[in-house]
Amino acid sequence: MVTGIRSAALQEIQGSLRPTGMKKWFWILFAVFLPVAEVGVFVVVSRAIGLWMTLAIVGVSATCGVCILIRSALRIEREGDELKERYGKMEDAPTSQMLVVGTEWMYSIIAVLCLLSPGFLSDLFGLLLSLPGVKKSIGKASLLKAQVEAGQHGMGVDEYYRKKRLEGR
């Protein structure tokens, strides 16, 4: 039952990430102009410091991405073990805690993908997302959004997502 509640909460996060309306156009323009900007920055940097130094920087950022992935995976595993110790099973953990941990993990993956992709702008974005404070803030913002939505219906987060799951939404 609780797994279903958490599943509904994670579906809500995924739903908020789906492009709709104005968001859709932003992401289309972003997908078109980011590669152009990345190539432009790459050319400017390689002219300033040389091609081999530029390629070395790109390689170092990819290596950092792999290190961040490993560190994040170990941290998430440790947090999962702590939740198991505290609640007995992961299914018994509160949805709100799972929402924050899940959001942090999702943004860790996005940070790693940005660091693994060649380009300075995506590396900058990946480094920003890899900062623990930034991920915590995003996780808390997701929880706040869930609490506001649940509060509009006069319920707590766990109760609201349980009801949504039973309704099949």
Break the chain into its structural domains and give their ranges.
2-13+21-167
User: Average of pLDDT values for 96-120?
Assistant: 80
Tell me which residue has tokens 């900007």. 37
**153: helix, strand or coil:** coil
Over pLDDT 70: what percentage of the chain? 82
**Residue 134: CB atoms within 10 Å:** 15
Does the global pTM surpass 0.95? Answer: no
Q: What is the DSSP letter of 154?
A: T
User: Average of pLDDT values for 77-100?
Assistant: 76
Structure confidence at residue 48 (pLDDT): 94
Q: How far is CA 138 from CA 6, 132, 146, in A?
A: 18, 10, 12
As a whole number of angstroms, the distance between CA 76 and CA 91 comes to 16
As a whole number of angstroms, the distance between CA 146 and CA 13 comes to 9
- Phi, psi dihedral angles at 136 (to 5 degrees): -60, -40
